[in-house]
Amino acid sequence: MKNSVVAVLALAAAGSLAQADIIASWSITTAFPTGTGNVPTGTTYGVGAADAGALTAGSSLTSVHAAAAATYTSPAGNGSQYAFSSNNWNTGDYYQASFSTTGYSTISLSWDQARSSTGPSSFTLIMSTDGGANWTTVLASYTVLQSGGGGAPATWSSTVARNAIYTTTATLSGADNKGSVLVRFQSISGLSAATGSNRIDNVEISGTAVPAPGALALVGLGGLVAGRRRR
């Protein structure tokens, strides 16, 4: 019986090694200020720390623009109540997620992104693990689909299920077990119409927890016990 218990515990520990966890995610749970004189404007605005995940402390999601006239709003998300939207886009403007992956490996990223008919459609995804001193390219380019209006494949809605055609996923190679990771969703479209908007939602960082030394030892012990029983 003792050997069986050890084997079961070892199998449980081994199974936990492959389970992906949410490290940090933003589903934009709070509406931005509205009304004359209250709508956020300027070169940058952020929604703060991730609203879910194992490592939310110190995380942030921001939008950065060259134009001080940029306006930030929270329209309907892709199957969620709100999204993070901004206008006055130019080449180099970006959304940026900042987070930690300490204790996690096999890091991946998924997010939803959409634009208005005159918003930027071409973006690149870049990453830094040294505070922004150096950047690596994760996706050289990707296309952002239009939401709503003529020619759009669909419309984001807070009352309709999340539409997967707006979701992109990427593996963040080199982001394992880092105290600080930055990822930028950066426009390469050129100057858009001043009112042209782009929005982001459901930004999710996930990874596999690095097992504690005790868990690895338990896996090894389970294998040893099983080997002895076979002999």
What is the distance, to the nearest Å, from the Cα of residue 49 to the centroid of all Cα atoms in its chain? Answer: 12
pTM score: 0.86
pLDDT at 145: 98
Q: In this structure, are residues 176 and 105 in contact, taking their beta carbons and an 8 Å threshold?
A: yes
Number of Cβ within a 10 Å radius of residue 209: 17
Residue that wins the pLDDT comparison between 151 and 183: 183
pLDDT value at residue 7: 44
Query: CA 69 to CA 42: how far, in whole Å?
Result: 6
Closest CA to 107 of 17, 204, 11: 204
Q: 45-50 long-range contacts, Cβ below 8 Å, gap at least 24?
A: 45/70, 45/72, 45/86, 47/84, 50/24, 50/25, 50/26, 50/99, 50/205
Which class would CATH give 20-210?
mainly beta
Q: Considering only CA atoms, which of 145, 151, 126 is closest in space to residue 198?
A: 145
Q: What is the token pair recorded at 75?
A: 């329209």
Query: Under DSSP, is residue 142 helix (H, G, I), strand (E, B) or coil?
Result: strand
Using the predicted structure, report yes or no on whether residue 108 has a pLDDT greater than 70: yes
Task: List Cβ neighbours of 37 (8 Å cut-off, separation of 6 or more).
Answer: none
Token code pair at residue 89: 């886009």
State how far Cα 11 lies from the chain centre: 31
Q: Provide the token pair at 62.
A: 């921001």
- How is residue 209 written in tokens? 């927890």
pLDDT of 167 strictly over 80:
yes
Domain ranges of the chain: 20-210
Query: What's the confidence (pLDDT) of residue 225?
Result: 52
pLDDT-derived band at 8, boundaries 50, 70, 90: very low
Average pLDDT, the chain: 90
